[in-house]
Amino acid sequence: MRILLGAVAALALSATAVLAAGEDVMASRIGNTTITTDASGMSSRIYYEADHSFTGVQGDLQLAGTWAVKGSQVCLTFTSEAPPGYPNPICTPVAAHNVGDSWTSGPFTVQLVAGRQ
């Protein structure tokens, strides 16, 4: 019985660690601006919140919804109209980055800039 309880406790702790790691991947984005640019040159500005909501803009389109880390991806589910040509939800690879970093994620070039811009 002790072995079973120990295994259950270890599983619960490892699940908590995975969740915490997922949250850490997004920590630098909270309170800052994530600028994504697709292959056509269309840019979006996304503002992530700690409560797993996001807002943003793409041209004249106002964006809003929720975000979740699922494995090695971040998935955005739009409660507003999704940008034209994008699925809802859209999931892209995610990794931890620092403010000032630029990288590629799936079909996007991404920049993380300080503050709300």
Domains belonging to the chain, first-starting first, are 2-113 (2.40.128.640)
Digitized pLDDT (tens) for each residue of the chain, 117 residues in all: 444 333 333 333 333 333 444 468 999 999 999 999 999 999 999 999 999 999 999 999 999 999 999 999 999 999 999 998 889 999 988 999 999 999 998 788 999 999 999
Q: How far apart are the C-alpha atoms of 14 and 95, rounded to whole Å?
A: 19
pLDDT at 107: 83
Tokens of 90: 């859209």
pLDDT at 79: 97
Contacts of 75 (CB under 8 A, 6+ apart): 67, 68, 69, 89, 90, 91
